[in-house]
């Protein structure tokens, strides 16, 4: 175990997502130290060597090495990317049985090191596993964050920008709810340059409304399409994880759609689900409660009920409010 020399991120699981995430961290110069842990030590060691060769041209020469759980003791952030991957034909919720046991072991090992930082969970089903991490760790809920719908929101902004021929950085729109089949677009608050998307669509006629339905379907089903073509999704989520990491380590107070534990917001309790939240060095500073329209509220409650149904099977019927 090395002495800490700045911000330290420990990445557990160096598969497609974990390795892509570390590559994004290195390229953006976000962390001072990056520790790689994997069930296959040779994979983590090889990744560390390969990444170190590339940092000659990185904006910031992060110290990268293959470590072990003892390195979590002084970590600012532990990012869990380990677990079974979604296969063609599987939903994210199909992965629960495979990954709950894996997470119990991982989180116990991290906490045994004396870890007092933040957890960021990327493994699917991310809302369920973020909740599990919170319960297994015993940490305050503000210090356990799931990647939530950050990737879905990224896809949503990209496709809307493409449709309206506007930079996605100028598209303001959210996907909330489960990171999965019950997620929903918040059309009522989506805007481009301050102009509501619904107003822009109305000016284009009825066909444009069908176009928006198609855009959301493409967002919701993007993972299925990519998995069918190349076996896994990893570049997009890696960029999303890097964005969350920067908001944490740089104390940005940035609003990002992550999986967070609700405590009365949106009329729900004791469930991790994707919502906009203010992210800083302490984790989740506060949740942003959007003013949803009636249909959006119904869809959100349904999404929460699906997640609660899964959680009740693993953490008891009485746990969800």
Which residues are catalytic, by number? 179
What is the C-alpha separation between 141 and 133, in angstroms, rounded? 10
Establish how many alpha carbons lie within 13 A of residue 274's alpha carbon, considering only the half-sphere containing its beta carbon. 28
What is the C-alpha separation between 60 and 90, in angstroms, rounded? 39
Question: Is residue 148 helix, strand or coil?
Answer: coil
Q: Helix, strand, coil proportions of the chain in percent (round to 5)?
A: 50, 20, 30
Find out whether 63 and 34 touch, Cβ atoms under 8 Å: yes
The total of other beta-carbon atoms located within 10 Å of residue 180's CB is 22
Cis previous bond, 125, omega within 30: yes
Output b/e per residue, 182-194; b: 16+ Cβ within 10 A: bbbbbbebbebee
Question: What are the structure tokens assigned to 152, written together?
Answer: 């879905």
What is the C-alpha separation between 178 and 182, in angstroms, rounded? 6
Q: What is the CA radius of gyration of the chain?
A: 19
What is the C-alpha separation between 146 and 50, in angstroms, rounded? 28
């Amino acid at each position: 175990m090395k002495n800490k020399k700045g911000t330290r991120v420990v990445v557990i699981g160096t598969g497609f997502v974990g390795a892509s995430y570390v590559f994004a961290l290195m390229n953006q110069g976000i962390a001072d130290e990056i520790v790689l842990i994997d069930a296959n030590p040779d994979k983590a060691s090889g990744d560390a060597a390969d990444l170190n060769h590339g940092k000659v041209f990185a904006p910031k020469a992060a110290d990268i090495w293959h470590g072990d759980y003892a390195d979590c003791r002084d970590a600012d952030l532990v990012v869990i990317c380990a677990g079974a991957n979604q296969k063609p034909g599987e939903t994210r919720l199909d992965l629960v049985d495979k990954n709950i046991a894996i997470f119990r072991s991982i989180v116990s090992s991290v906490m045994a090191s004396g870890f007092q930082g933040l957890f960021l969970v990327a493994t699917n089903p991310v809302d369920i596993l973020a909740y599990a991490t919170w319960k297994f760790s015993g940490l305050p809920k503000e210090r356990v964050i799931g990647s939530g719908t950050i990737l879905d929101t990224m896809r949503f902004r990209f496709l809307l920008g493409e449709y309206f021929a506007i930079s996605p950085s100028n598209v303001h729109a959210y996907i909330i709810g489960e990171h999965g089949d019950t997620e929903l677009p918040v059309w009522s608050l989506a805007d481009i340059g301050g102009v509501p998307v619904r107003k822009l669509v109305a000016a284009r006629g009825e066909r444009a409304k069908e176009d928006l339905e198609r855009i959301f379907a493409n967002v919701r089903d993007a993972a299925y399409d990519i998995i069918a073509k190349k076996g896994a999704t990893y570049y997009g989520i890696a960029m999303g994880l890097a964005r969350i990491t920067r908001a944490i380590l740089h104390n940005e107070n940035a609003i990002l759609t992550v999986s967070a534990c609700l405590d009365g917001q949106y009329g729900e309790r004791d469930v991790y689900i994707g919502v906009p939240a203010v992210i800083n060095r302490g984790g989740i500073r506060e949740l942003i409660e959007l003013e949803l329209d009636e249909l959006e509220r119904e869809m959100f409650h349904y999404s929460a009920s699906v997640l609660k149904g899964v959680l009740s099977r693993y953490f008891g019927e009485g746990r969800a409010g």
